[in-house]
Structure 1
Amino acid sequence: MKAFVAGATGETGRRIVRELVKRGIPVRAMVRDITKAREILPSEVELVMGDVLDRASINEAIGDSTVILCATGAKPSLDPTGPYQVDYEGTKNLVEAAKSHNIEQFVFVSSLCVSKFFHPLNLFWLILWWKQQAEQYLKTSGLNYTIVRPGGLKNEDNSNPVIMSGADTLYDGSIPRQKVAQVCVESLTSPQARNKVLEIVSSPTAESKSWEDLFSAV
């Protein structure tokens, strides 16, 4: 297995990269700024230049990777096309590149509540709606996929157990980015996580379960 990570220098992406490295999985990280990435990511990571809005650069960057993890996301800005470009068109470009490279699995970090059109986050240029459109594109691509929908993201990790459920069943709650990274990486080696939408939050009152039990229950 060789993992290709898009959005590798983001807060969630960098944790995914570190989790992969910790488990001895080779990583190619697609970045737009090599110098910045070297400061953020582990030295073992192979850094490649690329942009999700440039399909040619993605095809070159993927190289000999066998799985893709996408943790991209539009940054808050005054550009109303941001979420459409990054969260939808960018993901579409990654999916098409994955198909041409016979990628074995595509893990996509989405968001809780993507099916709620009137959610306040959609005031940010329909960001949840465009993530949902990207999910649909991935689902119908023919690729093996895992769609991870985390609740509110926290930078600080904690010991709270993960709660995992199927699509459109969880509508509130939060989760550390580190646990999101763990779910993404665990899904790569679990057949029970394939072709599923996984909604995840964490709670101090949740029952602690193995990853396999969590994946199998969805």
Structure 2
Amino acid sequence: MANVLVLGANGKIAKLAEAQLLVETDHRLTLFLRRANRLTISNPDREQVIDGDVLDQAQLEKAMANQDIVYANLGNRDIERQAQTVVAAMKATGVKRLIWISTLGIYDEVPGNFGKWNHQMLDGGYLETYSAAAKVIEASGLDYTIIRPAWLSNNDIVSYEFTQKGDAFKGTEVSRRSIADVVVKLINDPTKEIGHSIGVNQPHTDGDRRPSFY
């Protein structure tokens, strides 16, 4: 059993991962988010909810007490500052294992016309800030894994493959349920993919333009 702190616990991927963790494991979950009344827990014996701001280091440090793993499902234009605060709080509390959700394209690793389209869609404040946040995580000295999903669908499918940093990104899309499954597997075996930045896509979705649903 592990104690897992979920940051951004009302996110779509986070909620899928939380549900899967409750069914498949005996881990205890601390769910950290703003406006905590948006979230309804199903198992009060294994879930606690904390209303807080991830940019408040003191709140984060309090939430990190006795945690084994931090899973960060964060995002917006403050993502670099969020990364800095999460890293500082983890160092202050001695928590080492971090699972961090990012996005494809932060290393300019998406090839071909799809890569050009991805830049057109995400440049101008998104890719730049997510890339800066990844640099913070990579320089942290923590036992991190960065997850870089392809474009996200709501398809009810679990099917994925990995590429590593330095590899050309494969595929154009992946389901949120697949990313949740990746998170759950990393929580269940926290020794996997330490220090790695993994691209995650659904096999056989390669294309030269854009995801099938766009």
- The TM-score normalised by the length of structure 1 is 0.80
Which whole-Å CA distance do the structure 1 matches of 2:126 and 2:179 have between them? 19
The secondary structure found in structure 2 opposite 1:4 is strand
SS in 1 for 2:192: helix
Match of 2:4 in 1: 3
Alpha-carbon offset, residue 175 of structure 1: 0.8
Aligned positions, number: 192
Determine if the alignment matches structure 1 residue 110 to structure 2 residue 108: no
Q: CA deviation at 1:141?
A: 0.9
Is residue 2:22 matched to residue 1:24? no
Q: Which runs of no fewer than 5 residues in structure 1 stay unpaired?
A: 75-82, 207-218
Inter-partner Cα distance in structure 1 for 2:63 and 2:192: 29
Indicate whether 1:130 and 2:132 are aligned: no
Q: Which moved more, 1:88-97 or 1:187-196?
A: 187-196
Letter in 2 for 1:120: Q
* Displacement after TM superposition at 1:190 (Å): 4.8
Separation in 1 of the partners of 2:15 and 2:171? 24
Match of 1:60 among 52, 59, 62: 62
Q: Does the Cα contact within 8 Å between 2:163 and 2:170 map onto a contact in 1?
A: no
Aligned to 2:72: 70
Which whole-Å CA distance do the structure 2 matches of 1:204 and 1:116 have between them? 21
User: Per-residue deviation at 1:172?
Assistant: 4.2
- How far is 1:171 from its partner? 5.5
Q: Deviations over 1:100-139 (max 9, x none)?
A: 111131000001111239712334x421111111111111
Runs of at least 5 residues in structure 2 that lack an aligned partner in the other structure: 110-115, 207-214
Q: Give identity over the alignment, percent.
A: 20
Q: Over aligned residues, Cα RMSD in angstroms? A: 2.1
Q: What is the rounded CA distance, in whole Å, between the counterparts of 1:190 and 1:36 in structure 2? A: 29
Match of 2:176 in 1: 177
Counterpart of 1:10, as a letter, is G
- With over 3 angstroms needed to count, the CA separation of the structure-2 counterparts of 1:35 and 1:205, relative to structure 1, is closer
The amino acid across from 1:88 in the alignment is E
* Number of the residue aligned with 2:83: 91
CA shift for structure 1 position 72: 0.8
The one-letter amino acid paired with 1:201 is N
Q: TM-score, normalised by structure 2?
A: 0.82
Answer whether contact 2:99 2:147 (CA < 8 A) is retained: yes
